[in-house]
Structure 1
Amino acid sequence: MAETQKSNGLRSLIAHQRWTVLLCVVTFLILMDGFQRQVSGLDQITLIAMSILFLGVVGATERRTWLRAVMVVPVAIWFVLVLLNEMSPSPLLDICLFLDSGILLFGCMIIGFRQLFAPVESEYERLASGVFSYLLMAVIWGLIYWRIEAMHPGSFNLPDDVSESPRGAFMYFSMITMTTVGYGEITPAADLPRTLTGLQAVAGTMFVAIFIGRSVGRLK
């Protein structure tokens, strides 16, 4: 009986704090990229965390909506690709996983952003969904930068201690670009990266303005 109550209590906690849980998963993914060189099997851990993230966002989406129905398809494709890649890894499967993850991450960001305007059970959850979307935006741009450098080496000026284009370095670059900090250790060296970093800085600034404006408006 006690175990049943604990189980129901955990389900209730997750149901009422789902965006907080998803925010923790995104934060974990970002932190893991910082240990890419130190932790063995990090790619498998990342795949598991991303799978949890995608399932969690679909579960957090309002039922019987077109957005939830659309998200189910790439999520199903994601798990099929992960299974195939584990059985027989190939460069083609890696590319398909990257493209599908990009679609899913973008969809997750849109769903999280919609919570700023949708009815929620608590304003705290609205805040968590906003921060979730903001961090996810940084992840998406970081993955794009990482892939650009992998396909066209020299697209970015990288420090000497950054080797083989690790994702962690581009996650860091993405976050400081979006927050317009710009320390300067990593800089774009080609036209496409320059354009993308400019767009990210604008998008990040606009997101913060909308987020703050919406949050303040809800408090009035």
Structure 2
Amino acid sequence: MNSDSEMRVPEGFFRKHRWSILLGLLVVLMLLDGLDDRFAWSSTAGLWGMSFLFLGVVGATERNTFLRVMMAVPVMGWFLLLIMAEFLGMTVNGGLYALAAIMLFGSMIISFRQLFAPVHSEYERLSSGVFGYLLIAMLWGLIYWRIEAAYPGSFNLPEDIVGQKAGFVYFSMITMTTVGYGEITPAASLTRMLTGMQAIVGTMFVAIFIGRIVGRLK
């Protein structure tokens, strides 16, 4: 076939810059978590922002794939629970947290796959890698937050961040980067093991990420 018959249909802006857009949205959502103790609206805005983030990940996933179908199911459940909570006044926090953990994990897997999949540019591959790295931090932070809520005292915490999700996401990020400032520390066997595992996962992700990027540039 000649080149004219093989001409591609131009793709939309989202398809070309999907991971850069999702990365920007994720950064905004993480910053909103930090405003939760100052502005009451930030929590609601964060929940709806997460909805669009998960919806965007489904849209960014390869079409007609099992992974896309598996991600679409919890996303629909998330929207249903969010509508029930916001408009019907029902208490569905447990379901929202469970679905958030599932979708964050699924989004992390999808973004990791982009390190090895064809992309429009290496800039998009870089964006997908950073997106996945931040998702790991958010997922682990959510797990830490719920563990502390279920078993108070699992962490040694400053008084000003007790019960705040942002504090645990922050702890997750400094654990992944092995900074370890020390103002938050695990105080139970389970949380100690989880923080150790996260440090290993974060180090391995960075090694694979850098190796893949350098390999593509050769």
User: TM-score band (shorter)?
Assistant: over 0.9
- Give the structure 2 partner of residue 19 of structure 1: 19
Deviation at 1:14, TM superposition (A): 2.4
Q: Which residue of 1 aligns with 2:4?
A: none
Report 1:21-40 matches (<5 A): 21-40=21-40
CA–CA separation in structure 2 for the residues paired with 1:162 and 1:46: 18
* Deviation readout 1:34-87 (Å, 9 max, x if unpaired): 111111222210111101101100000110111111111111111111111221
Segments of 4+ moved more than 3 angstroms: none
Please say if residues 33 and 43 of structure 2, whose CA atoms lie closer than 8 Å, have aligned partners that are also in contact. no
Q: Distance in 2 between matches of 1:73 and 1:33?
A: 26
2:181 is the counterpart of 1:180: no
The correspondence of residues 169-208 of structure 1 with structure 2, limited to 5 A, is 169-208=167-206
Percent of aligned positions that are identical: 60
Q: Which has the higher contact order (CA 8 A, sep 6+)?
A: 1
Task: Measure, in 2, the Cα distance between the counterparts of 1:15 and 1:188.
Answer: 41
The separation in 1 between residues aligned to 2:51 and 2:169, in whole angstroms, is 19
**Match of 1:169, SS?**
helix
1:203-214, aligned counterparts within 5 Å? 203-214=201-212
2:42 is aligned to 42
Q: CA deviation at 1:29?
A: 1.2
Match in the other structure for 1:123: 122
Q: Do residues 99 (structure 1) and 95 (structure 2) align?
A: no
* TM-score, normalised by the number of residues in structure 1: 0.92
CA RMSD of aligned residues (A): 1.3
* CA positional deviation for 1:13: 2.7
Give 5+ residue unaligned stretches, structure 1: 1-8
Is 2:139 the partner of 1:140? Answer: yes
Query: 1:112 maps to which residue?
Result: 111
SS at match of 2:161: coil
Q: Which deviates further from its counterpart, 68-77 or 202-211?
A: 68-77
Counterpart of 2:164 in structure 1 is: 166
Residue 62, structure 1, aligned to residue 68, structure 2: no
Q: Provide TM-score, normalisation by structure 2.
A: 0.93
Residues in 1 aligned to 2:196 and 2:20: alpha-carbon distance in whole angstroms: 30
Shift of 1:189: 0.3
Q: What secondary structure, in the 3-state scheme, does the structure 2 residue paired with 1:161 have?
A: helix
Letter in 2 for 1:171: V
- 1:107 alignment partner, SS class: helix
